[in-house]
Amino acid sequence: MKLPIADQIRVSRESIEALHPGKSQLLESPLAVNWGQVPYSEGVGALWAAVSAMRGRAGANTPNC
């Protein structure tokens, strides 16, 4: 379900405030990006299913150095 733009902006401000207390007030010109419509973009978040699948592979959690 797509949120109205005003709600998307509210959720964004709440997220910024949760991560960086007091900094959401610095946001001046809000905009919303539909990452699903951006060519070659797989989104802005981690693909947890892919990460979970990698954990089952030998060496996936072993550092390279």
| Residue 22: pLDDT band with limits 50, 70, 90 | very high
pTM over 0.95: no
- Say which residue, 5 or 35, is predicted with more confidence: 5
pLDDT at 60 over 60: no
Instruction: Please list, in sequence order, all residues whose beta carbon lies within 8 angstroms of the beta carbon of residue 52, skipping any fewer than 6 positions away.
Output: none
Residue located via tokens 């973009």: 41
